[in-house]
């Protein structure tokens, strides 16, 4: 298959690079993945390969405020304009800490305005026909930046600004429909929100999702978020369930989702949010796209909009990998004659399942997706835990076969992928070691217990007995009290974890426990912990925070919990489901869960002694911390919540805090009413209070009945009252 561009078009490929955008750097020179060397490494590679000399080199110019204001608030623009000025020297770092993964220095303002202006500049020239296509090497990146908030290394949403400029400022250019393809490994949350109801923009984001735990860890990265109003069906998310996705997975997403929809949409121009952090060897992405893979993905896009493509750099943090990948893409735009062998690769079974789910969600809007996917496709199983724990490095990319590193001739074969994966080296000192018992992993020496800052501890191997494959039958005879909070206080919702299905208000069903027997009893209790609402959305409940119990004991606080008497086997199944460890096998249709428990008999003893345990194998999951809350009828009371490190991240603003959604609120209220802790009048008042906050989010203090709102500055620096705490004020 040959690239669609011609030799004549090759002379009209724009390449924008400006050293001034390298002035944005960490304030004290500390190491950071998003650093100036990213641009310089790409430029050196393009120059060495002779690519730069074949392009029309362009310099950046700053975007005007009025164009940025099309997608960002005036307050945000004003802050970005002045943050590098002398008047902010003493408080620049403090302001940066209010945002999620952001730093500022004296060069940040100029770099941000240059990055936004650069993408406008190249997009305008491509739209006008002065260039056939273009690459904008810009930083800081942009696709995470939201209307009034910088986040995820992004200050302005460069691609969104350029898209709005073409649609609304330069209507004379005839750009009426824009396809935005975001292949950065992270979800383009900012871009999605800016065009969520606009049918003129087809937004396609393929990204790691990991059931909502991968950055930016928001539920609206799920495939069920497809737009609203007139824009319904024009927002497409392809959310991978895990890392190690590579060329085969992305090609499958292109062939079976993006390309058929793009053909029906027929865009006038294609803007690519070109992040290269899904590349093999990237330290943040954990995926495996080769330079060949990126070149093929880009080649498949050349058939649209007469090849009018604008690439704007987003993420990508392995310098060699990002340089090789950009060079491969530039050669595609220049019309080099690449040969693409028919790829004999296997996508993951999970990727195939995600693609099917995306098609099912969108087929009403794009009938072409109603066609059946090919059958009898050879698929790979989920990568092993060791594969997922492995980290990227420059050496891995340096060791790639010449066909990949040079990309002069692009050949994609399963053998190349396998060989590349076989070269991954593990840092054994940083990988947790599985114990001989439950799936509890230890970080650090195996003969010690390392205290955690919440009073719990990581489990050592000493004293842990081995559990056989019959663990379910053994643990089915052991009872515990599961202390539920949040939505699980409403019994119909909790029973979804036991019997499967979903209750009113839930977007997705639960798989249920292997043992579907109802609880042997229930009771209510107050515990000396604060309940707060973290994160900003979930696949199950949509937009809004969900409940977490602060692991730290605070005897001035009281939270209600509804305790269910269930078996230890059922408790593990609830723990599996709360942490998204249960999957459906696409081939057999059966559900699959971990083959060993997270909490066994020896862990019960350990938890009772140490008041808690942080489960290292799922340490990045939302509910990875099991707390011991005492005993009732000689049975331990256990609950699951976040680690103390997440509480600190919420306090610092790294993780968002926000009120619960109306549907989530309803389950909490029903639970409290069922437990006789709220009457109908109090529930109505609570609804009224929560509704007011959800509507206005204004700064004030509300205390009423069982609920108190406490002042916390949220991650975006907005002064809002966003932590909800259950209080017994009687």
Residue 217 pLDDT: 84
Cα angle value 621/421/298 (rounded, 5°)? 90
| CATH number attached to the domain at 473-584+593-693 | 3.10.490.10
The two beta strands, 433-434 and 531-534, are unpaired
Lowest-pLDDT range of 232-241, 642-651, 673-682: 673-682
Closest CA to 106 of 90, 86, 135, 77: 86
Give 407-456 pLDDT, tens digit per residue: 332 332 233 222 222 222 222 222 222 222 333 222 222 222 232 333 33
Is pLDDT at 684 greater than 90 in this prediction? no
Both tokens of 397, joined, read 């990319």
What is the rounded distance in angstroms from the CA atom of residue 577 to the CA atom of residue 581?
A: 6
Domain ranges of the chain: 13-369, 473-584+593-693
Instruction: Return the pLDDT at 389.
Output: 52
Q: Hunting for tokens 């330069």 — which residue is that?
A: 170
Confidence of residue 9 (pLDDT cuts 50, 70, 90): very low
Per 3-state DSSP, the chain is made up of helix, strand and coil in percentages (nearest 5) of 35, 20, 45
The average pLDDT across 669-697 equals 62
Find how far residue 575's CA is from the centre of its chain: 21
Q: Which residues pair with 636 in a beta bridge?
A: 631
- What is the pLDDT confidence band of residue 212, given thresholds at 50, 70 and 90? confident
Task: Encode pLDDT of 242-262 as tens digits.
Answer: 999 999 999 999 999 999 999
Residue 682: what pLDDT?
66
Predicted confidence at residue 3, as pLDDT, reads 41
Per the prediction, the chain carries an average pLDDT of: 81
pLDDT surpassing 90 at residue 593 = no
Nearest CA-CA partner of 51 in 22, 14, 18, 20: 14
- Cβ-Cβ contacts under 8 Å for 319 (sequence gap 6 or more): 37, 38, 41, 394
Question: What share of the chain has pLDDT > 70, as a percent?
Answer: 78
> Where does the pLDDT of residue 672 fall: very low under 50, low under 70, confident under 90, or very high at 90 and above?
confident
Q: Convert the pLDDT of each residue in 147-169 to its tens digit.
A: 999 999 999 999 999 999 999 99
The answer to which of 325-329, 367-371, 668-672 has the lowest mean pLDDT is 668-672
| E runs forming strands in 200-308 | 201-208, 235-240, 269-274
Q: Which of 72, 76, 143, 144 is catalytic?
A: 144
Q: How confident is residue 337, by pLDDT bands cut at 50, 70 and 90?
A: confident
Cα 625 to Cα 100, 448, 457, 591, 701, distances in angstroms:
23, 19, 10, 24, 31
Task: State the pLDDT at residue 386.
Answer: 55
Name the most confidently modeled range: 206-220, 307-321, 714-728.
Answer: 307-321
Lowest-pLDDT choice from 264-278, 471-485, 548-562: 548-562
- The pair phi, psi for residue 74, each rounded to 5°, is -65, -35
- Separation between Cα atoms, residue 301 and residue 664, nearest integer Å: 41
Report pLDDT for 340: 64
147 a catalytic residue: no
The pTM score is 0.60
φ and ψ at residue 180, rounded to 5 degrees: -105, 120
Distance CA 411, CA 163 (A): 34
Cis preceding linkage at 140, omega within 30: yes
The pLDDT, as a whole number, for residue 675 is 79
| Answer CATH for 13-369 from 3.40.800.20, 3.40.50.720, 1.10.1740.10, 3.40.50.170 | 3.40.800.20
Residues 643-661, mean pLDDT to the nearest whole number? 84
pLDDT in tens, 705-729: 333 333 222 233 333 333 333 333 3
Extended strands (E) in 2-66: 13-16, 56-58
Out of 304-313, 389-398, 496-505, 549-558, pick the least confident: 389-398
Contact call for residues 158 and 141 (beta carbons, < 8 A): yes
């Amino acid at each position: 298959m040959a690239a669609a561009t011609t030799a004549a078009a090759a002379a009209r490929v724009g390449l924008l690079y400006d050293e001034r955008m390298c002035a944005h750097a960490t304030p004290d020179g500390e190491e950071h993945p998003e650093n100036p060397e990213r641009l310089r490494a790409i430029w050196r590679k393009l120059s060495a390969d002779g690519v730069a000399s074949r392009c029309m080199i362009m310099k950046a110019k700053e975007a005007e405020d009025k164009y940025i204001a099309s997608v960002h608030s005036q307050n945000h623009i004003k802050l970005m304009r002045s943050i590098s000025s002398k008047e902010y020297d003493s408080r620049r770092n403090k302001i940066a800490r209010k945002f999620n993964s952001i730093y500022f220095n004296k060069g940040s303002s100029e770099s941000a305005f240059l990055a936004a202006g650069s993408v406008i500049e190249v997009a305008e020239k491509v739209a006008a026909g002065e260039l056939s296509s273009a690459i904008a090497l810009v930083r800081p990146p942009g696709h995470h930046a939201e209307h009034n908030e910088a986040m995820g290394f992004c200050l302005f949403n460069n691609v969104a600004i350029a898209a709005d400029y073409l649609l609304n400022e330069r209507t004379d250019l005839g750009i009426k429909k824009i396809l935005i393809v975001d292949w950065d490994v992270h979800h383009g949350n900012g871009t999605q929100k800016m065009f969520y109801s606009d049918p003129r923009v087809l937004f396609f984001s393929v990204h790691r999702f990991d059931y909502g735990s991968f950055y930016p860890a928001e539920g609206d990265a799920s495939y069920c978020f497809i737009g609203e109003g007139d824009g319904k069906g024009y927002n497409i998310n392809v959310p991978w369930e895990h890392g190690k996705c590579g060329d085969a997975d992305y090609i499958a997403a292109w062939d079976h989702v993006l390309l058929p929809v793009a053909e029906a949409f027929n865009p006038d121009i294609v803007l690519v949010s070109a992040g290269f952090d899904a590349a093999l060897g990237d330290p943040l992405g954990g995926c495996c796209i080769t330079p060949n893979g990126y070149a093929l993905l880009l080649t498949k896009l050349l058939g649209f909009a007469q090849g009018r493509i604008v690439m704007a750099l987003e993420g990508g943090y392995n310098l060699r990998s990002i340089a090789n990948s950009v060079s491969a893409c530039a050669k595609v735009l220049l019309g080099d004659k690449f040969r693409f062998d028919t790829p004999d690769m296997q996508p993951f079974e999970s990727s195939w399942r995600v693609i099917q789910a995306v098609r099912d969600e969108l087929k009403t809007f794009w009938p072409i997706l109603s066609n059946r996917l090919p059958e009898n496709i050879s698929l790979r199983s989920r990568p092993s835990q060791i594969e997922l724990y492995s980290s990227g490095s420059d050496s891995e990319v340096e060791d790639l076969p010449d066909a990949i590193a040079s990309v002069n001739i692009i050949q994609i074969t399963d053998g190349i992928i396998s060989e590349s994966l076989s070269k991954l080296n593990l840092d054994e000192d940083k990988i947790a070691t599985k114990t001989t018992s439950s799936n509890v992993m230890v970080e650090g020496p195996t003969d010690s217990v390392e205290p955690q800052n919440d009073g719990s501890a990581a489990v050592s191997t000493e004293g842990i007995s081995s559990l056989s494959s019959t663990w379910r039958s053994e643990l089915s005879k052991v009872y515990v009290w599961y202390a539920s909070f949040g939505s699980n206080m409403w019994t119909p919702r909790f029973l979804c974890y036991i019997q499967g299905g979903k209750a009113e208000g839930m977007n997705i069903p639960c798989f249920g426990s292997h043992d579907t027997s109802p609880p042997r009893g229930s009771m209510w209790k107050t515990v000396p912990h604060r309940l707060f609402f973290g994160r900003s959305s979930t696949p199950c409940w949509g937009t809004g925070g969900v409940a977490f119990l602060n692991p730290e004991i605070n005897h001035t606080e009281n939270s209600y919990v509804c305790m269910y008497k269930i078996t230890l086997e059922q408790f593990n199944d609830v723990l599996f489901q709360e942490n998204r460890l249960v999957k459906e096998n696409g081939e057999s249709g059966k559900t699959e869960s971990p083959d060993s428990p997270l909490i066994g008999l020896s862990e019960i003893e350990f938890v009772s002694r140490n008041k808690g345990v942080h489960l290292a194998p799922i340490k990045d999951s939302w509910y990875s911390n099991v707390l011991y809350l005492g005993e009732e009828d000689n049975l331990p009371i256990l609950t699951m919540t976040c680690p103390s490190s997440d509480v600190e991240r919420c306090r610092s603003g790294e993780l968002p805090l926000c009120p619960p959604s109306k549907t989530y609120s309803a389950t909490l209220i029903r639970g409290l009413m069922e437990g006789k802790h709220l009457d109908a009048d109090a529930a109505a008042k609570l609804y009224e209070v929560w509704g007011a906050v959800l509507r206005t989010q204004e700064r004030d203090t509300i205390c009423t009945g069982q609920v108190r709102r406490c002042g916390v500055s949220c991650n975006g620096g907005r002064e809002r009252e966003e932590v909800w705490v259950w209080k017994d004020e009687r």
